[in-house]
Amino acid sequence: MTTGYWTELGSPVGRLLLTADADGALTSLSVPGQKGGRSAESLRNAGDGWRCDAGPFRAAAEQLAAYFAGELKDFRLPLNAHGTEFRQRVWAALDEVPYGATVTYGEIAARTGASRAAVRAVGGAIGANPLLIVRPCHRVIGANGAMTGYAGGVERKVWLLTLEGALTDTAQATSSAGGPAARSDHAGPAG
């Protein structure tokens, strides 16, 4: 019995690893070196249940190629990421952040009805997002505009925001990424 499918795709931000459930809904999108991300090796060694098959990912591959070419702003894919009710609320708020825009952690907290004191918990939920790129956690920045953490690496975050037109001064964004606010997770400063 198949638990899920997986495949790898080349991209401008590195090799992407996609997983889907038995019905073909996308369950994760990971990049190399991602904090908490899956790896092809772990799926190969997982034994029964996981099957390497590009077939269920045709739509995802087409949409990702169009996104990276600057031709797609909204993904239209079936998603099935598992998380607590709180994480699901935070992820739903991420889905509402439009292409080319950025928001702060505090803004996401407010959109989910979380208190100002819950910003760190919101950061943790954002950091646990298993669907990088497709669910745009890269659009969340620090309250001061700093490129605070991204599970896929701050350099990728800067690249994605530049692609979307949210950053026009890559040199400034890169220097922000290297500053003390840069982290490898999403638990950035209160926003």
Query: How far is CA 98 from each of CA 50, 81, 168, 176, 182, rounded to the nearest angstrom?
Result: 33, 20, 17, 23, 23
Judge residue 73's burial from the number of C-beta atoms within 10 Å of its C-beta, 0-12 exposed, 13-18 middle, 19 or more buried: exposed
Structure tokens at 33: 């070196």
Distance CA 77, CA 143 (A): 30
Catalytic residue among 137, 140, 147, 181: 137
Q: Is 52 a catalytic residue?
A: no
- Which residues have a catalytic role annotated? 137
